[in-house]
Amino acid sequence: MSKLSIVVPSFNEADNVRPLVEQLDEALSSIEHEIIFVDDSKDNTPDVIREIQKEKPHVRLEHRVNETGLATAVLKGFTLATGDYIACMDADLQHPPKILKYMFYALEEGYDFCIPSRFIPGGSDGGLNLYRKLVSGVARYIGKIALPCLRKVTDPTSGLFMIRREALKDADLQPIGWKIMVEVLAMCSYNSIIEIPYTFQDRESGESKISGKVTMEYLLQVKDLMKRAKVKKSVPVSRWTVDKMLECDNK
């Protein structure tokens, strides 16, 4: 069976990292995996992660002092990952850890790129307030208009995805801001995408990092990708139903 690397960019998520690790380990108990935190925190988050490492050697930490930014943190995690498949998810538990199991088995069936979606049957964005739903929706449709490779993907801006390691090879990734998956969709080499439904969860602890600066960085990123994008059109996108996902629970 393939090995999975989970890259988790973190910033001031001290209360969330231990429950995240525990839930990931429970969901992936039958799958070889490593959890890589790339951390820019100003609080005690790295100390919490180091305590977890004493019990769990598959948890890794890269604490950055003079660098910031989610996208560059994810790129650093890509370079540290040793798995056959590489996933990216947030540290705040709004991406449900149990979804990683279904993503893994989707790639085991031969797909190159797995994107959980809030906007296909069985999915929900209930964890977003009205303002964040508006901001997310506008960002999503700006990306779809500007970049043909996003048009068949229903949820290209969430930041939760899994991809085969070889698809990242030699990709000219130059992201700014937070929307790393848009960069990966535009610049990596893959032949198929599978979407699976998931429910975006309420934040249990900590504060959202959404700001006007994040929105502006996204617009600049999309503008840049209009010139740089390697993937000029959509690749085939398949979708799993909830029933199909439940078949994985028997594996």
Summary mean pLDDT of the chain: 91
Of these ranges, 132-136, 187-191, 198-202, the one predicted with the greatest mean pLDDT is 187-191
Distance CA 24, CA 160 (A): 14
Q: What is the pLDDT of residues 194-240, one digit of tens each?
A: 999 999 887 655 555 555 577 788 889 999 999 999 998 889 999 99
Quick check: 162 and 181 in contact, CB under 8 A? no
Query: Pairing relation of β-strands 161-164 and 33-39?
Result: unpaired
Tell me the chain's radius of gyration from C-alpha atoms. 17
Quick check: 242 and 167 in contact, CB under 8 A? no
Q: What is the pLDDT of residues 22-58, one digit of tens each?
A: 999 999 999 999 999 999 999 999 999 999 999 999 9
Which residue in the block uniquely carries the two structure tokens 């600066």?
213
